Structure 1
């Protein structure tokens, strides 16, 4: 039955804020002693500091009964860039090098991966523009591509694509340039270039002209700009020399190419890694694929195995017990205290001012735009209770040792359940789940879905 405008008007009388309502609310606030006290306090101080729940602060210990040894050193700092996924990845991979050479500390180069990721993302963007040139420029998909074609963020799978094609180098071989640590200007400049290229490609394709020469020149121009901003990196098969001391002061000199460095020193087999996802909007025990999300054109799509959080938690515990860290993706910095190094939903007594931080469940937060994966870090420890259940996790961040507890954070199990979306493990950590990866009934999500967010 179709409702008339009159009926709709009767059913919805609060369509405007009336001055009478404001007068009433004002008087109610004047009579609200608790609200006025809160206002008096919060208008002169930091609410998030004043509402700290001391009981939770004390309970969220930085002591763990299961921790990998050694942990990576030094604590890293992505500075003013969105490279968390590359720092989490290189912090994961450096542990193999530390073990191999008995090192006290080691840094691999996020900047090297950053360079080639940007180069490949630019080409991936151009290919998507070519593939969608018949679509209206205002279509949601085309506008998604145009919105942020070479953003700093990425996914673990995208990192593996770069490592497989270009390899990896130690930090000393390709250290950070200024624009790696503060990428905003570079990103804006190249993004503007790519948008102009998009117009050229769409116009030519719509007129029936060839674009091969144009696209090759565009690739060349982006490479040149990346070299200007970040410095020219080693080529994948170009030999470099890496000199260093181990923790016993013994000198080492390693000669390798970026690609051979991965196979001979990092021992990283990308095909063995699996991303477990917790997306409560979709069925569990199913593969979820994010269409048209990637960096290296033609490489495998970004995909996950969707599971309940209990499975993700147990996979983390199993891996820590094997003395291996865990790459994970979360919604950060929600309920994260950078001063104390704590990730705990109940660290603040927000209910004292009438705010319920649990008013939405995890699925609803994703559906209504209140949560998505925004940051990648490592889990390096877990504290288990007497029944062997995880209580809290030790998290290695990439915001320097001035952030958190000397660079580390304590994350509660409750926080894990509510705000962790992804953990990356190896197939031998989850042998019982491996057959699920072969399921042909893949759930496809568009790149602008929250699960397509880049950490």
Structure 2
């Protein structure tokens, strides 16, 4: 079928537009203010209030600036909530740049290993094309954070502060990806010519390490941890290693946390574990693995953890039905259907299948509001600085959570024995381009 738009059709389109002169008011508002501002629903803003029955004490929000490191900011924020409470610190942050450095180096190695593995495949194959599309990026998932911390530990922000390129990552990503694609050409030729690809790869990693050191700084092997607590007492821990720092001060067994996803598509049964092929950052690190559950199970586990005083890492599609200036995320925040006179309704499964929605951003759930025994809204700590939302905090309606939240990470004690057994089974491997393999990068 190859039917063009005719001029008769265009005349009919125009006639139908002119049949409703009331729409001129909408047109004027949209053309002057934009779709979101013109269709914003005041009732939604009044209903989704920043007041909560259960909250975990937190500090000033962090700011990832012009980078896609939300997933590591969110994870480190959950750790600093614990640390600030334990040590009596205020507005203390862990170094996102430290995690960022090791993540980029390890992702480079992960990419080069995959290039060697697939060197005999045509470069136009879907897998090789997928690998070359983004050799590395800022984005990530929870299990990638687990891999980095288990191997390298963590440090305070003072031990490895932000740099220009950590906060504004586009130029570094462009240069690093250009280098990695160049290396891919060399490695694929080396494998096919039966030369030593592993030795070549090590030379490549030496140069990539140097690029990262010049852009981000070199991570400390040991550092001095000095601070004053809430009672103004000076504390000092000299020449501590990053791994010892994490164990001594944060003391979290990351393997006690289970990533739950909600992917209600036909190909992903509930109460089944999944992984994603060719997704990761550290060769031999923590595998990407999650348990697909119904949304009520996911939310219940997250709410219970918040009630017990611990915040929750979660991944969502933040750009959907989200009003940034006030920090409202609600399915009714914009009256677009009423304004334009058509329906834009798909189910959550359809949005995944038809590429309209996926996990794009990671934040932290820090509170809930319970009314008549049910949670009706969630407090969200973002990492976009204090100028966005309510001093950096957002509020999500429960309906929004249902539609646009895809993952939470909770302690395994909040899951039934049946669910734990399901998680511990051999996971089904998804294709690399499956929507549940998307990375949080906003």
| TM-score when normalising by structure 2 | 0.96
| Corresponding residue for residue 412 of structure 1 | 397
Helix, strand or coil: the match of 1:345? coil
1:245 aligns with 2:233: no
Q: Is the 8 A contact 2:119 2:192 kept in 1?
A: yes
1:203 aligns with 2:189: yes
Point out 4+ residue stretches in structure 1 off by more than 6 angstroms: none
TM-fit CA distance, 1:328: 0.1
1:159 aligns with 2:150: no
| Corresponding residue for residue 94 of structure 2 | 108
1:254 aligns with 2:237: yes
1:263 aligns with 2:251: no
Q: Is the 8 A contact 1:74 1:106 kept in 2?
A: no
Question: Which has the larger displacement, 327-336 or 426-435?
Answer: 426-435
Q: Is the 8 A contact 1:291 1:301 kept in 2?
A: no
Distance 1:24 1:428 in 2: 62
Structure 2: give runs of 5+ residues left out of the alignment.
Answer: none
Q: Is the 8 A contact 2:48 2:395 kept in 1?
A: yes
| Corresponding residue for residue 263 of structure 2 | 279
Distance 2:374 2:277 in 1: 36
Distance 2:276 2:325 in 1: 36
TM-fit CA distance, 1:153: 0.2
Say which of 357, 360, 363 aligns to 1:374.
Answer: 360
TM-fit CA distance, 1:196: 0.5
TM-fit CA distance, 1:38: 1.6
| Corresponding residue for residue 435 of structure 1 | 421
Helix, strand or coil: the match of 2:157? coil
TM-fit CA distance, 1:99: 2.2
Distance 1:182 1:227 in 2: 16
TM-fit CA distance, 1:26: 1.3
Cα offsets for 1:345-372 (capped at 9, x unmatched): 1011112223556511000101111000
Distance 1:357 1:305 in 2: 33
Cα offsets for 1:97-127 (capped at 9, x unmatched): 1122111221001110000000000000000
Q: Is the 8 A contact 1:292 1:301 kept in 2?
A: no
| Corresponding residue for residue 40 of structure 2 | 52
Distance 1:346 1:155 in 2: 29
Structure 1: give runs of 5+ residues left out of the alignment.
Answer: 1-11
Distance 2:200 2:334 in 1: 56
Q: Larger relative contact order (C-alpha < 8 A, sep ≥ 6)?
A: 2
| Corresponding residue for residue 18 of structure 1 | 6
1:313 aligns with 2:299: yes
Cα offsets for 1:24-73 (capped at 9, x unmatched): 111221222133332122112232122221111111110000111x21x2
1:39 aligns with 2:22: no
| TM-score when normalising by structure 1 | 0.94
- C-alpha spacing 1:358/1:249, structure 2 compared with 1 (3 Å): farther
1:76 aligns with 2:59: no
| Corresponding residue for residue 398 of structure 1 | 383
Say which of 90, 94, 109 aligns to 2:76.
Answer: 90
Distance 1:259 1:206 in 2: 40
Distance 1:46 1:80 in 2: 24
RMSD over aligned Cα, in angstroms? Answer: 1.3
Distance 1:201 1:249 in 2: 56
Q: Is the 8 A contact 2:144 2:286 kept in 1?
A: no
Helix, strand or coil: the match of 1:103? coil
TM-fit CA distance, 1:268: 1.8
- C-alpha spacing 1:376/1:357, structure 2 compared with 1 (3 Å): farther
Distance 1:119 1:331 in 2: 27
Say which of 138, 160, 179 aligns to 1:174.
Answer: 160
Q: Is the 8 A contact 1:294 1:301 kept in 2?
A: yes
| Corresponding residue for residue 293 of structure 1 | 279
Q: Is the 8 A contact 2:26 2:38 kept in 1?
A: no
Distance 1:321 1:106 in 2: 23
Q: Is the 8 A contact 2:337 2:344 kept in 1?
A: no
